[in-house]
Structure formats: structure tokens, C-alpha cells
A = this chain, B = another copy of it.
């Protein structure tokens, strides 16, 4: 567990304050590895909304990273949100998120992605938002979503195992089965049906989260917010060791070419399937922020298949498949914790 959770009623301000701090922390850590600087600006939206897109381009280690924070307010919930919750239709709302992607230069270093988001519908006029009474918990108008996932170009078992162990650690305090459930959801989500292939080695994916059984001493918002923070706080420990040990490996044209080719799959996933990307484009959000996730350079080769038994072939056969990355014994409490 990390810092003590906030108590009290669900609040976008409270969550946004954490997201801002997380954005700073992740950007600082990436700058320390790379030496480059983020293009940082603050954009004002309607009704006091704010966005802080931050993009680092053409760095020594990082070819492109986008670490975006936003906090927006709206008069009326978008259709995407009320389809599953018709009782919230027409309510004003706030949404806040931190969303990031890192495309390293070195083909041996995997691309990583993380997102945490919080959504709250304000109560109809004349009612207080509340947060503890049973009646109101039944129609809680807030939820968290997010997760993180890893996309290698060359597979390393130790990287995938470290990534998943850290994911399991992030989940452990909040429930027995959370890691298994959100790991499976991640495998389901980051899948390209037209390639019959996973996008990467997965990680965690959750949505519509407003119930958790632990920690018992917290209310539902406190538990879910603590879980969201745990996901956010575990991103750097999950990714930095991998980036550090791969960023200086020697590579040549072959590895670079394969990386560009595989990045094409990333483009395919994001533009064809990713809900956040497609919803953002449809909603006419700021296109440059939404598409900041796309790689700086990507290639398509017609009908290419790597030579059998090559490291390139092993990526698809051994890594882009559903696998249990953590040995069955004691999955959520690996050595060293």
C-alpha cells in the first residue's frame, strides 16, 4: 500500500490532484532516464476543464512518450457512459484521467501504456451527492477504470514476469482474485481479431469499478481510489527496470525494421479497436492528444512472416499469447516484498 487513502465523499478534485502528481512523477522519471524534455502546456477547456498534454519526442532513449492529464466537466453525460447506466442520462459530470504511452528507441525495449480514469455524475439538483448511505450506494454515479500493459518487440521472459509480478503486487491488498480477473480482462481487451494475436504481453485492465471488498476500514470510494493509486504508483516500478536493462542493448537494421513493422500492429489496434481512441475521435476531443499514442514511425510489409525459430517468430508464438506469467505458488507476493 502507498499513501493513506482519502476518506469522505467521491470527488473528481481529489482524484485529479493525485493524477496531476502522478503525471509529474512519471514525467520526471522518464526525463531522468532520457535526458530530454517534455513539451508541456496547459489547455483550458469549458466549465473550468483543464488538460495537460505532455509529449517527449526524439529523445536519446525514448523516441516518443506522451503522458497526458485531463480534467473535464460536461453538462450531460455522453452516450458511451449512459448506455450501461440509463439512470444517469442528462446529468452533469466530471471526468479526469492520466494516460500515458512510452515508445522507446531501442527495439529490445518494450512499449508501455497506462491509463487511470475517474468518472462522476453529479446528482440531480436538490440532492446531495452522499457516499455512504446504502440507498445511494445502489446507484453510485462514479467509477474508476484503467490499467497498464506492455508491448515488447523482442520477447524476454524476465521482463514479462517482472511486469506481471508488479501488477499482482498492485492488486494484492484489494482482493484475492483481482490480479487474475484484471489480467484476463487485459488479455481480452488488447487483442487484434483480424491478426488473431494479442497486442502485447498484457497486464491489467479494469473498468466500471465502484465496488471492492478491501480494505475493510475504508468506504467504497476510499477503497477504489486507493486501488487506482496503487495502479498508478506501480507503473514506474513495473516499467523502469525493464527500460533500464534494454535501452542500451546493441541492435541493427534488422531489429529496427522489425520494431517498425510491429509498431504497425500498435497503430492497427489503437485506430481500429481502442475504445478511448475511437470515442475521443468521435467526440472531437483534441486529436493531437488522443493520437499522441501513435508511434513516431511505423511500417507495413505485405505478407511478411519471420523465419521460423527466429527471435522475431518467437515474439508471436511465445509472447503474444495468453500465458500465466507468474508461477502458481504465491503469485501476489513474489520475492522481495
Contacts and interface: CB of A to CB of B under 8 A. Distances in A.
B57 A287 contact: no
A299 B296 contact: yes
| 6 closest residue pairs by CB, A with B | A271-B271, A294-B300, A194-B281, A55-B302, A288-B303, A194-B287
Interface string A282-303: 0010011011101111111111
Nearest to A290: B194
Contact of A302 (B268, B292, B299, B303): B292
Interface residues on A, range: 20 to 34
Contacts of A291: 268, 300
B64 A302 contact: yes
Q: Quickly give the copy total for this chain.
A: 2
A278 B271 CA distance: 11
A299 B298 CA distance: 6
Given A267-B267, A271-B272, A272-B278, 8 more contacts: A39-B303, A193-B281, A194-B290, A272-B272, A272-B281, A294-B300, A296-B301, A297-B297
Contacts of A303: 39, 55, 288
A191 to B, nearest CB: 13
Interface in A25-55: 39, 55
Given A271-B268, A271-B271, A272-B271, A57 B296 contact: no
B267 A288 contact: no
Nearest to A303: B288
Contacts of A57: 301-302
A264 B302 CA distance: 17
A267 B194 CA distance: 16
